[in-house]
Every structure is written in C-alpha cells, then in structure tokens.
Homo-oligomer: A and B are copies of this chain.
Amino acid sequence: MARVVVAVMPKPEILDPQGKAVLGALPRLGFGGVTDVRQGKRFELEVEGDVTPDVLAEVEKMAETLLSNPVIENYVVSVEQVEQADQ
C-alpha cells in the first residue's frame, strides 16, 4: 500500500479570500511575523501496490481532471511513505 499526495493551490495571480481571511485573523489572535497566507487543498490517495511511473501518470491525470481546476489552480503530485503502524 502506498500513498500519493496531491497538493492543490490557487495560482499566484488568483485572489484567495480564504487565505486572506486567515491572514487577517492572525494579528487579532496575537500572532505576528506572517506576511502572506494561501489556502489550498490536500488529497491523500491510497493506491494498490507500488507507485510506478504509470501510477503517477494516472494520478497526474486525476489531479488535472477531478482534483483541481487547472484554470485557477496548480497541483503537485508527490509520494509519501506510509508506516506499517498506519494501516
């Protein structure tokens, strides 16, 4: 069992009201030192067997067609080690 992570973030030129809301809330809660916040999505996909280049290509297609909106979002696909204890 392997885990593939797809991180989906709004493109830099796209407004991100959720991130702006978090950025505005931080000083009210007494937190400083943060100059920008962007909020996106994270998908953890459990895939059968090993993560081969074929599997990664398939996940790239999923990211492009279902998990993200390529007009306003970028995505990054990465592989994560799953510990035995997690299963």
- Using a CB–CB distance below 8 Å, which chain A residues touch chain B? 1, 7-9, 12, 19, 22, 25-26, 29, 31, 33-49, 55, 58, 61-62, 65-67, 86
Contact = CB atoms under 8 A, between A and B. Distances in A.
Q: How many chain copies?
A: 2
Contact of A31 (B8, B22, B58, B86): B58
A48 B22 contact: no
A22 B66 contact: yes
A26 to B, nearest CB: 7
Contact of A43 (B37, B43, B62, B66): B37
A55 B26 CA distance: 14
B38 A40 contact: no
